[in-house]
Structure 1
Amino acid sequence: MNKPNDLAIRATDLNDIDSNASHDNHFNSILNARLSRRNWLRGSAVTAATAVMGSMGLSACGGGSDAVAVTPTPTPTPEKLLAFTAVPKSLADVVSVPAGYTATALYALGDSLRAATPAYKNDGSDTDFDNRAGDHHDGMEYYGLSAAGAPLASGAERGLLAMNHEATTDEKLSSHFLHVNGGTTSLPRPAAEVDKEVAVHGLSVVEVKKTGSAWATVNDSAFNRRVTPLTDIELAGPVRGNSLVVTKYSPTGTKTRGTINNCGTGKSPWGSYLSGEENWAGYFTRSSTDNAARGDKSVVSLNRYGRSQGGASRHGWETGGSDDKYARWNLSKTGASADGSDDYRNELNGMGYIVEMDPYDKTKAIRKRTALGRYAHESAAFSVPAVGQQLAVYMGDDSRNEYIYKFVTAAVWAAADANPADRIATGDKYLDSGKLYVAKLAADGTGQWIELSLSNALIQAYGAYKFADLADVLVNARLAADAVGATKMDRPEWCSVNPANGEIYYTLTNNSNRTVNPSGSSQLAPDSANPRAYTDMKGSSAQNGNPNGHIIRFKEGTGAAAATSFTWDVYLFGAESGADASKINLSNLTADQDFSSPDGLAFSPYTGICWIQTDDGAYTDVTNCMMLAAIPGKVGDGAKSTLNYATAAGGNLAVDTFIGKKPTADTLKRFLVGPVGSEITGISETPDGKTMFINIQHPGENTALANIGDPSKYTSQWPANAGYGAGKRPRSATIVITKNDGGRIGS
């Protein structure tokens, strides 16, 4: 998601971090076997189901000569999906949508949630961010309200938007657009700056309402709220109360303080909001002598999660003062206790989970669902609920060479839970007990879900880290996945389930560490599920590895959501339309379809359209980031292909992969292009499918700190240049998209 710019401070992109030095078996180790794929073409392609409006024609007959013909009701013509004209690539500082659609800014960084909070000046002087929209709008879900303001799943003209606020636009420690002169770029950081930056992270809930054809937020709504990194949050599930999460803030290990770097989302079948904590490790620091002070296996865990000793924090928040709220950003062992109850040596173990919140009810506790594992979470996608069957939650770990996971509930789905009296209690039922699995993909297009628990002999025998109990496995899910030889992937980000057939789609954004001739532990050769290693030129700069990313999809085997086997193929490969069709543009994308670095992904439950959003740095010399609309088929609707690479030793590396049916102009086209420097992320629709909400994150992110006082040098002035709000500083914002004829989005 958010891509920090200052490598001198961070040493690495926190969203592209690679701390996986395990020596798992990879596809390249079994490619020589060149397993043949049998029964690959399993029937004809299908497209996502489209909704047919109106009733079917009827006829009736009487007996014998008394037969009377009844004039049939005309059958309405089904709406044609993707009937819009594709939006061309663009470098303009605007939001472009198809002809016949309107996009309007709705809710931006700093917008007031309370009548007592002044309107946003957007000049760096604003305060009270506990009562304003946060920054870097990301994943988002819509929750309907009745006209009277009661929860109503079908409410299409009044509702709540719950969303993540992932990060801030920053350079050299400071979140420069938040401060008058760009902020302090040396340590220590002033408390006032730190407090503001902390507060713009987290979650928000804002009421939105349609009046006539226009949507607006409802200031001072009783539903409006902010959740920040200082909000009290409960730990739930197997990790609750474990010694690994004991801190000065919570000596009993039952709660933690806040949530941070929230990225993708999920909407549970019982109507709660799920938020993934993504790249949280970089906000913390450790002293250069902390390994020796600890002297235990926690050093292995910290290194595996990207927080080695001596590492600088992203913003230097630990230097804001002596108050405990600043001390918690320092993970060093500073206390004398044996259990960590007098310092924050265990603080990191309370971060990295799926967080569940009831968007309708502020009185309900917010809970981190530890049974789903701890890693750089993106979205949480549920299997299609079926009464009497277990549910699955599909998830990805967004870092280079990390893994794909799923959680299977112990409880089976009950229809009554679709509308429960207590959504958080229902979350307890389904999300606190079950099994966590990691994916291991084979070169023949099949795969296995491997359980992560102490019952797995590979985890018991793992030499690099000794697991004490189930909580230890979940807190250190990455290490457990290493132990079982899970498949390293090209940055698994969002995932979504196709409502037409239950198949699961994962975006694999990119990976700069793919190479034909690996020379280090972090580099991987191309393999069947991550088959490309190539050079993509951005002007005169060479981008190596898999800079354009791809989308993979799974079909569960016997057992539906609880299956332990699956088949897979690559749905789409990101590429420039003019790239080599034999090695790079394997999906034969045209100029109306080409894209790079897929990130956000969601299937519309109303039209079946698969929406694909990009967070790209590889193709931004040609176009700003974008969103595409797709009507996909199914796993196995394409064909097997072999990519041949010349090795440094003069040999040939042959990589078999499986490519879905090539898209056509009717099944994939560009729907939106965003302003300069922005990522397109977050998507939600009203239940009638006629209104869509999209988030535009960090426009103008490459603006230099030195230019903070000169708006003419901002790389973007959106949304101010679209007539929204005061000042000219760029702001992350939610937009609302409607069709001018009142129809459904995407038709």
Structure 2
Amino acid sequence: MTIDTSYDDGDIDTNRSGGAHLNDLVAERYSRRQTLMGGISAMATAVFGGALLTACGNDEDEGAGGPLTVTATASGATSAGRVVTLTGTVSGATPDSIAWTQDSGPAVVLNNAQSSVATFVAPAVAAATVLTFRFAARAGDLSAASANVSVTIGAPMLGFTAVAKSLADTVAVPAGYSVAVLYRLGDPIAAGVGAYANNGTDGNFAQRAGDHHDGMTYFGLAAAGNAPDPTNSSRGLLALNHENITEVYLHPNGPSNFTAAGPRPEAEALKEIEAHGVSVIEVNRAGTSGAWSYAPTAALNRRVTPNTPMSFSGPVRGDPSLRTAYSPDGTTGRGTINNCANGTMPWHTYLTNEENWAGYFRRDAGDLAVRAATGQARQNESLRRYGIGEGRAGNYFWSTVRPSNPADTRFRRWNATATTGVAADADFRNEPFQFGWVVEIDPFDPASVPRKRTALGRMNHEGCEIGRTVPGVRPAFYMGDDAQNEYIYKFVSDAVWSAADATRTDRLAVGDKYLDRGTLYVARFDATGRGQWLPLVFGQGPLTAANGFTSQADVLINARLAGDALGATRMDRPEWTAVNPATGEMYCTLTNNTSRTPATADAANPRAYVDPKLPQGDVVNADPPTSAQATRGNANGHVIRIREAGDTSEAISFAWDIYAFGAGADLNAQNINLSGLDASNDFSSPDGLWFGLPSNASGQVTPVMWIQTDDGAYTDVTNCMMLAAIPGMTGDGGARTVNNTLTTAANATTTSQVNTLVGKAPGATLRRFLVGPKQCEITGIHSTPDGRSLFVNIQHPGESGSIANLTSNWPANQGGAAAGQRPRSATIVITRDDGGVVGL
């Protein structure tokens, strides 16, 4: 072998890749424009904005279409939550690629960013803010062009024209919105369950939608599998309450004839029982803007009924007052009933709340004496305070059923009468003490046992709303006791908030941490616009053995009696609570109070007046009214709000005022229509209450608050409704003096003068968004995380009708005539036709 030792100056070829040689490249068409365009386009855009950008070169270089040029335009200035359209145009050379990108301003998600027309939802901003976007194109010859466009976004504002009052049998929403019926009474939720005939012949409501849809939460589901995904707005779980039933429509010809002594047919009673409780169902949207549907056979679908096994947790677990023939140790129970409002926990569980549970229980004459003779006189006082007196037959007479299986106690449990000579844990005298609680459900685990959270007290729980969660701070949970002259409560957990708990998979164990140990408080509203949270703690203040309280469990079981002893403020039916996610302020609807009089009016409940009704020939504002149908007391209700001292959930004092008073626009502005309502926003009997989610523009900066009504005073003028508001803040109004005059049907007149605190008149920041069908209640609301789909429940349409006289055909008639169809409670979903955030 010869070894080459000569000098090498690099004139050798070791590259065997097959790449082009220089002289091959020189032979290719290569224009000066191609070297300059990419470098100058950004500079030119900065100077010329959306003006034309071209490169240098002759016609031969530019190709048949001429130089590559682009322009960029937008649909114009707008406000938070609305859809903005960006349009790019390309001329000259045919582009190989085009794209929209954002150059400045709060980051947004650009939809269809790789096309000439892109959209985004305007973000929530506190003041006018400019967002800049770039549209760029590149051709196959490497030429490129781009153009910028700016969009000015304003602060959140209501973006719809108010819906008129209506007595029609349909759901009406503003122009530009659509309504779809999603989930109706009787709809099947399991394989093998047939479609609902809606003629009274259907059974198996343990696997069908219950009746009287109420409080509700949407939980995002992962795109695949059954894990939570709080960002998913196309696949999720709806958990919703079924508060009560419209009995007549559940049976072929209404309930069978029977007397108070019974017996009720077993199948009828079972159907009615199972139609109460809670549904958990999977819901899906076709794509990001298609139709919604529910999945009838999804794995997570579940009904929780009054017969579902329950577990007790917290201080009352195992207390003798919970012991029954079903649960001799007082640690378990069966079911939940009359579930009204709800709560949504940040660890992805659902709180359902037992409201008017007392009415379902039978208590025969003589029970008082039996309890007194067996050392249970305290129970007599408690049962009286919660409305279970002697001589009650119980709603729907379920206890009269003679079951086919004598060992079946599902019906006998509704008879709370103590049996002489029988131990307390051998009958169902204690069954009423198993109800009136907040119940936590894990919607992602259909095999889990719901837990009754006794630390939150026993009452007519309307809802349970958690306040803002701040790391290292103990969270608060706000509740109303829905009955005339009852109280507002909050529970402050012993555990400080840890954000890591929001993603734990042992969700009910997280509930144990935050909901089983803490302090329950009741509110006292002072005339000065200040208030105090009074602790319901055994041994403190009047809550002692000397005053009849025996333990902390006894205080919680008898939260009403404890509130009485502490001097809490008697309110005009406290219903839903809601917390403003931006400010932390708590709002509570006070639906109405026909027992309020001038003598009992106070600063927080300042009105007692006559509300006339028109169809019977009443003269508006006649006093006394010309019809005996007029409503007296605080007929139209109001919404109160508080701001915690120091803006912390741990505060024991607060400031308060009244956000808005319900009233007809034509009523006396000095003493009744104190909020200056007009035809676009007058309402009566506020009930449901909810703020938009902080995951979208409706819950940011100045969040949207939704108010739903359950009305008996204004139904001569309109069906029940839902309004949207952008409320101010506690203290934004001023002091007012209310002069009450109330004349009874017997012409007895009482008067009073009350000083109160009224928020700034809402004006155009409160508007009617929806009016429901005949004889309904609007109740229950939640949205997808992106705020583009709003779920609303329509409860008991046509509730005053009969089989022979159907007073509503909704929802069958929502899309047109449907004569002869029985009405059904149902969940609807509302979307904006342009895909924007609902309400803005």
Report the TM-score, using the length of structure 1 for normalisation.
0.87
Contact 1:134–1:203 under 8 Å retained in 2: yes
Mean alpha-carbon deviation: is it higher for 305-314 or for 133-142?
A: 305-314
Q: Does 2:298 correspond to 1:221?
A: yes
Map 1:675-686 to 2 at 5 A. 675-686=773-784
Q: 1:571 aligns with which of 659, 668, 671?
A: 659
User: Quick one: percent identity of the two aligned structures?
Assistant: 54
Counterpart check, 1:309 vs 2:404: no
Report the Cα offset of residue 436 of structure 1. Answer: 0.2
Instruction: Look up the match of 2:678.
Output: 590
Q: Give the aligned partner of residue 167 of structure 1.
A: 244
Aligned partner (choices 619, 636, 644) of residue 731 of structure 2: 636
Match of 1:183 in 2: 255
Q: For 2:168 and 2:158, locate their aligned partners in 1 and report how far apart those are by CA, in whole Å.
A: 24
Q: CA deviation at 1:593?
A: 0.3
- Asked whether the 8 Å contact 1:165–1:204 carries over to 2, the reply is yes
> Could you report, residue by residue, the CA deviation over 1:5-61 in whole angstroms, capped at 9, with x for unpaired residues?
xxxxxxxxxxxxxxxxxxxxxxxxxxxxxxxxxxxxxxxxxx9997249995589xx
Q: For the pair shown, which has the larger CA radius of gyration, 1 or 2?
A: 2
Q: Which residue of 1 aligns with 2:8?
A: none
Change over 3 Å in CA distance of 1:618–1:698 after alignment to 2: same
Change (3 A) 1:335 1:421: farther
Contiguous gaps of at least 5 residues in structure 2: 1-79, 82-121, 134-145, 615-626
Shift of 1:459: 1.4
- The Cα shift of 1:82 comes to 1.2
* Paired position in structure 1 for 2:504: 420
Which residue does the alignment assign to 1:718? Answer: 810
Q: In 2, Cα distance between the equivalents of 1:221 and 1:434?
A: 37
| Residue in structure 2 matching 1:291, options 368, 374, 381 | 368
Match of 1:691 in 2: 789
Stretches of structure 1 that go unaligned for 5 or more consecutive residues are 1-46, 60-69, 170-174, 518-524
Q: Equivalent residue for 1:203? A: 278
Q: Report the Cα distance in structure 1 between the residues aligned to 2:469 and 2:447, rounded to whole angstroms.
A: 27
Aligned pair partner of 1:730 in 794, 819, 823: 823
**Contact map agreement 1:558 1:565 (CA 8 A) in 2:** no
The aligned amino acid for 2:248 is H
| Aligned-residue offset at 1:652 | 6.4
- The answer to whether residue 559 in structure 2 is matched with residue 477 in structure 1 is yes
Q: Which moved more, 1:146-155 or 1:378-387?
A: 146-155
Give the corresponding residue for 2:13: none
Q: CA deviation at 1:198?
A: 0.3
Q: What residue in structure 2 maps to residue 343 of structure 1?
A: 427
1:386 partnered with 2:470: yes
Within the alignment, does 1:127 sit opposite 2:209 as a pair? no
* Most deviating of 327-336 and 200-209: 327-336
CA 1:478–1:76 in 2, change beyond 3 Å: closer, same or farther? same
Q: Give the superposition deviation at 1:115.
A: 2.5
Mapped contact 1:336–1:342 kept (Cα < 8 A)? no
CA separation in 1, counterparts of 2:438 and 2:641? 22
The alpha-carbon deviation at position 79 of structure 1 amounts to: 6.8
Alignment of 1:491-510 (within 5 A): 491-510=573-592
TM-score by length of 2: 0.77
1:39 is matched with which residue? none
* Equivalences for residues 144-159 of structure 1 within 5 A: 144-149=220-225, 150-159=227-236
Distance 2:132 2:244 in 1: 57
Q: Give the aligned partner of residue 48 of structure 2.
A: none
Q: Structure 1: how far apart are the matches of 2:316 and 2:194?
A: 41
Q: 1:81 to 1:58 in 2, by over 3 A?
A: closer
Residue identity opposite 2:562 in structure 1: A
Query: Quick one: distance in 2 between partners of 1:185 and 1:513?
Result: 34
Matches within 5 A, 1:92-131: 92-131=168-207
Other structure's SS at 1:567 match = strand
Return the alpha-carbon distance in structure 2 between the equivalents of residues 72 and 719 of structure 1: 48
Q: CA deviation at 1:312?
A: 1.9
- CA RMSD of the aligned region, Å? 2.2
Secondary structure at the counterpart of residue 428 of structure 1: helix
Asked if 1 retains the 8 angstrom alpha-carbon contact of 2:663 and 2:677, the reply is yes
Matching residue of 1:34: none
1:81 to 148, 157, 169: 157
Count of residue pairs brought into register by the alignment: 669
Cα distance change, pair 121–57 in 1 and its aligned pair in 2 (3 A): closer
- The equivalent of 1:528 in structure 2 is 603
CA contact (8 A) 2:788 2:831 kept: yes
Amino acid paired to 1:577 = A
Partner of 1:353: 437
Residue of structure 2 equivalent to 1:616 = 711
Distance 1:723 1:96, change over 3 A: closer
For 1:104 and 1:481, the matched residues in 2 are separated by 44
| Distance in 2 of aligned mates of 1:386 and 1:233 | 31
In the aligned structure 2, how far is the partner of 1:309 from the partner of 1:403? 25
Evaluate the alpha carbon distance shift between residue 50 and residue 503 of structure 1 in structure 2; reply closer, same or farther with a 3 A threshold. farther
Q: Residues 548 and 575 of structure 1 are in contact (CA less than 8 Å); yes or no, is this contact kept in structure 2?
A: yes
Residue matched to 1:20:
none
User: CA 1:718 to 1:138, structure 2 compared with 1: closer, same or farther past 3 Å?
Assistant: same
State the AA in 2 paired with 1:136. Answer: H
Cα deviation code 1:708-733 (max 9, x no counterpart): 1x3xx211010111259997000000
**1:746 maps to which residue?**
839
Partners of 2:129 and 2:347 lie apart in 1 by 30
Q: How does 1:704-715 map to 2 (within 5 A)?
A: 704=802, 708=803, 710=804, 713-715=805-807
2 CA distance for matches of 1:314 and 1:647? 33
Find the counterpart in structure 1 of residue 454 from structure 2.
Answer: 370
- Cα distance in 2 for residues equivalent to 1:162 and 1:378: 16
Is the 1:158–1:208 Cα contact (8 Å) retained in structure 2?
Answer: yes
Letter aligned with residue 492 of structure 1: P
Separation in structure 2 between the aligned mates of residue 274 and residue 155 of structure 1, nearest angstrom: 21
* AA of the residue aligned to 2:385: R
Distance 1:143 1:512 in 2: 38
- 2:445 counterpart SS class: coil
Q: Residues 597-635 of structure 1: CA distance to partner in whole angstroms, max 9, x if unpaired?
A: 000000002311000000001000100000000000000
Give the direction of change, closer, same or farther, for the CA distance of 1:146–1:351 in structure 2 (3 Å limit).
same
Separation in 2, partners of 1:595, 1:500? 26
CA distance in structure 2 between the partners assigned to 1:535 and 1:681 by the alignment? 26
What is the letter of the counterpart of residue 496 of structure 1?
A: A
Matched AA of 2:161: T
Mapped contact 1:234–1:366 kept (Cα < 8 A): yes
Q: Secondary structure at 1:538's aligned position in 2?
A: coil
CA contact (8 A) 1:365 1:424 kept: no
1:191-238 Cα offsets, whole Å, 9 max, x none, are: 110000000000010100011410001110001010100000000100
Give how far 1:458 is off. Answer: 1.1
Structure 2 CA distance for aligned equivalents of residues 189 and 652 of structure 1? 49
Contact residue 626 and residue 670 of structure 1 kept, 8 A = yes
Q: Which amino acid aligns with 1:306?
A: G
Contact conserved, 1:122 with 1:726, CA < 8 A, in 2? no
| Structure 1 residue matching 2:329: 3-state secondary structure | coil
Query: Which residue of 250, 256, 259 maps to 2:333?
Result: 256
Closer/same/farther in 2, CA of residues 528 and 128 from structure 1, 3 Å limit: same
